[in-house]
Amino acid sequence: MTYKELKENKEIASYIKRADESLLALGYTEHSFAHVGRVADTASYILETMGFGDHDIELVKIAAYLHDIGNLVNRIDHSQSGAVMAFRLLDHMDMPADDIATIVTAIGNHDEGTGVAVNPIAAALILADKSDVRRTRVRNNDITTFDIHDRVNYSVTDASLKIDESKEHITLTLEIDPQYSSVMDYFEIFLNRMTLCRKAAERLKLQFKLIINGQQLL
């Protein structure tokens, strides 16, 4: 099973689409193909930059593509239910047990509520997922009714996650338009996520930094 084959699988595409429809009904930002594809690309960049091999990079892309399917069941504990769903799907596709174990562990640990960066795949997935903050994830067209998640995502005009040449730091750099959200708004909903990112970076022997509007905050 390869990442390319997974992306071409119509059944899995249905699960991702329907999971995102559930979140749309609940008023959440976009968690569909744009999100999982971006997370896969970012997680791949992290492991490739840190010198991991092709096999690990393939596994993290698969984990990223499947990481939010648990929202099909319920938003609460979606990482754990998603991990169980991924196990069944990948087992039926005859993926080796060791690879399934790695992917399931990463998916089951990607959420800030209960997640832990227990292996490099999980660490890269956490960093990639939590750094996907952008205006295009907002689906509410009425700015006057934005909740705090809408405001924060809509306020981000530019975002990047980069590892420095020394491979000592990984930095999330954001440009925020204060017309829509304050830096305090960002921390109100993202503090736990940034804490998890710091621990994930440490798992990869990196130091996590957060820069907003030119100011280093972490």
Nearest to 161 by CA among 200, 117, 208, 94: 208
The answer for residues whose C-beta is within 8 angstroms of residue 46's C-beta and 6 or more apart is 60, 124, 127, 128, 161, 163, 170, 204
Integer Cα distance of 176 and 217 in angstroms: 13
pLDDT score recorded for residue 82:
98
Residue linked to tokens 């109100």: 188
pTM assigned to the model = 0.96
What's the pLDDT at 96?
A: 97
Sign of CA dihedral 15, 20, 26, 28: positive
3-state helix/strand/coil string of 152-195: HHHHEEEEEEEECCCCCEEEEEEEECCCCCCHHHHHHHHHHHHH
pLDDT tens column, 140-173: 999 999 999 999 999 999 999 999 999 999 999 9
Q: Quote the pLDDT of residue 129.
A: 98
59-93 pLDDT, tens digit per residue, is 999 999 999 999 999 999 999 999 999 999 999 99
Mean pLDDT, all residues of the chain: 96
What pLDDT was estimated at residue 88? 97
Residue 211 phi, psi (nearest 5): -120, 125
Tell me, what amino acid is at 78? H
Instruction: Categorize the per-residue pLDDT at 187 as very low, low, confident or very high, splitting at 50, 70 and 90.
Output: confident
Strand partners, 170: 163, 208
Contact 138, 154 (CB under 8 A): yes
Q: State the pLDDT at residue 126.
A: 98
pLDDT for residue 206 is more than 90: yes
Q: State yes or no: pLDDT of 42 exceeds 90.
A: yes
Task: Return the pLDDT at 4.
Answer: 96
Share of the chain above pLDDT 70, in %: 100
Q: Which residue has the tokens 């907002």?
A: 138
Contact (CB, 8 A) for 75 and 52: no
Three-state SS at 30: coil
pLDDT at 35: 98
